[in-house]
């Protein structure tokens, strides 16, 4: 915690050396962004030269306002070239146009807003539906909430995380504004049946978005284990009307850049907001923001220039090798199993229930133990689907090019952690609920006041920690997320994250 003096807003000028020194000190406490120890959030190409190039490009654009590419014409050129490269890479012909956005969430939000507006323009009235597998990224739930669309979640297989095309097709109707499929899904790396779903959408005249936020910049270079090409998944598939692909993932750009492509100019134009009905400058916004940075756009553009398709392919090869090795190694760890047949550089690990309890490894205890040896894996809670079938809780790993140079160490850490927790049962929901003080659980969550929520969090040992970091052992916390009603966990997590950034 900062001292009175350091925290004071009135404090007079500080030398830039001191300012940067303080920033470095804060950064030193972060999870490491480089070196492959964090297997989610960060995408390390392992190429310091690319990071330096990206930083120099972003710095060049620091003072520019991306709001107006007619005043800052460099922005128009960079965006045009990035969209052009993406279109060629992602199976688009010259009918395909698009925009650079601030990230995956913004691309997804805009895909939904665009489809909703087109649905309305075609005569749709009331609240339209968005049909998507339950594994589709949470950004689409956010979009549904923001843009007043009903989110219709289609269950997937609890063993493989895969979607049956027929389960989507049978839900299509005149009230469906958009169908979303993933290439691949984040939770289980499942490549959805895009050809089948898009074909049905085409016949029904329904928009079909491919969320390739995580796969878009790497699947074009992906080869399956047996060397077979992937089934078609991009804009080359008839019926796919839009596609999102994040440059701040496997485009190795700093955070804040993604592309959203549309089939047809008219569709793209429906994404825009424009108004001349105020006394200020005419506003034309292709994306959600007004004034915006062009830094991440420039960084992404520079990386594309430096790498070209061959450069991306080379980095993808490292991911392919590392993912294949990891999958094999995890499959060999007694008590764990890789979920389904992951497509792309990510995978989910579940308990192997075919073994007797004493030989099973709970993936959340495992992730906690792996973390204790300095590697950060991402725990995913189990989830009850609308059809009553429960998806298992899993541990997620996103593989990046640097992972390939750390495989030996990572393998040792994964194996040792499994040995350390084998046979320890998963934290049960009853167990965590019983640990809560009597009567501490509120009945309704929506109106839970901040102080009440904070008291609950404190009781759980989650508040008041030094720098906002979470406990070393997260398995009980994840079990709590599974045990409590969604409305309540959502409220509590909001409180937790809000308290972390409150002025002290």
Ligand X SMILES: *Cc1c(COP(=O)(O)O)cnc(C)c1O
Which residues would be at the binding site for ligand X (CB under 6 A)?
103-105, 108, 137, 139, 182, 186, 211, 213-214, 246
Of 242 and 333, nearer to ligand X (C-beta) is 242
CB of 103 to ligand X, least distance (A): 4
Of 103 and 239, nearer to ligand X (C-beta) is 103
Token code pair at residue 229: 């090409």
208, β-bridge pairs? 179
CB of 110 to ligand X, least distance (A): 12
Of 187 and 335, nearer to ligand X (C-beta) is 187
For residue 350, is it left (φ>0), alpha (ψ between -120 and 50) or beta?
Answer: beta
Of 51 and 211, nearer to ligand X (C-beta) is 211
Task: Catalogue the E-assigned strands of 361-444.
Answer: 378-380, 383-384, 390-391, 394-398
Of 161 and 335, nearer to ligand X (C-beta) is 161
CB of 214 to ligand X, least distance (A): 3
Of 186 and 222, nearer to ligand X (C-beta) is 186
CA dihedral 79, 401, 363, 333 (to 10 degrees): 150
Give long-range contacts, CB 8 A cutoff, 24+ apart: 391-394: 391/134, 391/156, 391/158, 391/161, 391/187, 392/158, 392/339, 392/350, 392/351, 393/350, 393/363, 393/364, 393/426, 393/478, 393/482, 394/187, 394/188, 394/339, 394/348, 394/349, 394/350, 394/363
Of 399 and 413, nearer to ligand X (C-beta) is 399
Of 103 and 220, nearer to ligand X (C-beta) is 103
With beta carbons less than 8 A apart as the criterion, state whether 364 and 336 touch. Answer: no
Closest-CA residue to 86 (of 293, 284, 242, 296) = 242
Of 36 and 104, nearer to ligand X (C-beta) is 104
CB of 30 to ligand X, least distance (A): 17
Q: Give CA–CA dist 463/455, Å, rounded.
A: 9
CB of 20 to ligand X, least distance (A): 27
Q: Give CA–CA dist 111/113, Å, rounded.
A: 6
Instruction: Name the residue with the smallest CB distance to ligand X.
Output: 104
CB of 212 to ligand X, least distance (A): 8
CB of 123 to ligand X, least distance (A): 30
Q: Give CA–CA dist 376/399, Å, rounded.
A: 12
CB of 213 to ligand X, least distance (A): 3
Please report, for residues 81, 85, 295, the alpha-carbon distance to residue 70 in angstroms, rounded to integers and kept in the order given.
16, 21, 17
CB of 100 to ligand X, least distance (A): 13
With beta carbons less than 8 A apart as the criterion, state whether 104 and 139 touch. Answer: yes
């Amino acid at each position: 915690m900062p001292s009175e003096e350091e925290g004071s807003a009135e404090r007079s000028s500080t030398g830039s050396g001191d300012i940067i020194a303080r920033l470095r000190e804060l950064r030193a406490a972060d999870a490491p962004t480089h070196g492959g120890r964090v297997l989610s959030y960060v995408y390390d190409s392992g190429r310091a030269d690319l990071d330096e190039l990206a930083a120099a490009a972003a710095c060049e654009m620091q003072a520019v306002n991306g709001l107006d590419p007619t005043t800052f014409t460099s922005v128009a050129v960079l965006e045009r070239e990035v969209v052009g490269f993406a279109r060629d890479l992602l199976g688009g012909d010259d009918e395909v146009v698009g925009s650079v956005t601030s990230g995956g969430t913004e691309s997804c939000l805009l895909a939904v807003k665009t489809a909703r507006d087109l649905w309305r323009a075609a005569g749709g009235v009331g609240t339209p539906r968005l049909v998507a597998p339950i594994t589709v990224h949470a950004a689409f739930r956010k979009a549904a909430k923001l843009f007043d669309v009903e989110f219709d979640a289609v269950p997937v297989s609890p063993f493989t995380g895969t979607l049956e095309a027929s389960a989507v097709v049978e839900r299509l109707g005149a009230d469906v504004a958009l169908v979303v499929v993933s290439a691949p899904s984040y939770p289980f790396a499942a490549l959805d049946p895009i050809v089948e779903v898009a074909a049905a959408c085409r016949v029904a005249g329904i928009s079909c978005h491919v969320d390739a936020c995580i796969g878009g910049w790497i699947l074009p270079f992906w080869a399956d284990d047996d060397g077979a090409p992937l089934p078609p998944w991009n804009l080359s598939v008839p019926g796919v009307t839009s596609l999102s692909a994040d440059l701040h993932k496997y485009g190795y750009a700093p955070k804040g850049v993604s592309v959203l492509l549309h089939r047809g100019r008219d569709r793209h134009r429906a994404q825009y907001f424009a108004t001349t009905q105020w006394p200020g400058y005419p506003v034309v916004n292709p994306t959600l923001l007004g004034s915006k940075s062009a830094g991440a756009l420039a960084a992404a553009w520079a990386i594309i220039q430096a790498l070209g398709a061959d450069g991306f392919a080379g980095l993808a090869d490292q991911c392919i090798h590392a993912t294949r090795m990891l999958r094999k190694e995890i499959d060999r760890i007694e008590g764990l199993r890789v979920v389904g047949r992951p497509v792309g550089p990510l995978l989910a690990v579940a308990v192997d229930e075919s073994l007797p309890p004493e030989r099973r490894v709970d993936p959340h205890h495992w992730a906690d133990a792996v973390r204790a040896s300095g590697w950060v894996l991402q725990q995913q809670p189990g989830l009850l689907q609308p059809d009553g079938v429960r998806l298992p809780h899993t541990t997620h790993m996103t593989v990046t090019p640097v992972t390939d140079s750390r495989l030996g160490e990572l393998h040792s850490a994964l194996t040792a952690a499994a040995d350390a927790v084998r046979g320890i049962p998963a934290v049960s929901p009853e167990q965590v609920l019983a640990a809560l003080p009597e009567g501490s659980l509120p009945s309704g969550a929506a109106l839970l006041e901040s102080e009440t929520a904070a008291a609950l969090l404190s009781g759980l040992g989650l508040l008041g920690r030094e720098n906002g970091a979470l406990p070393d052992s997260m398995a009980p916390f994840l079990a709590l997320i599974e045990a409590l009603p969604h409305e309540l966990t959502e409220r509590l997590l909001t409180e937790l994250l809000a308290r972390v950034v409150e002025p002290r």
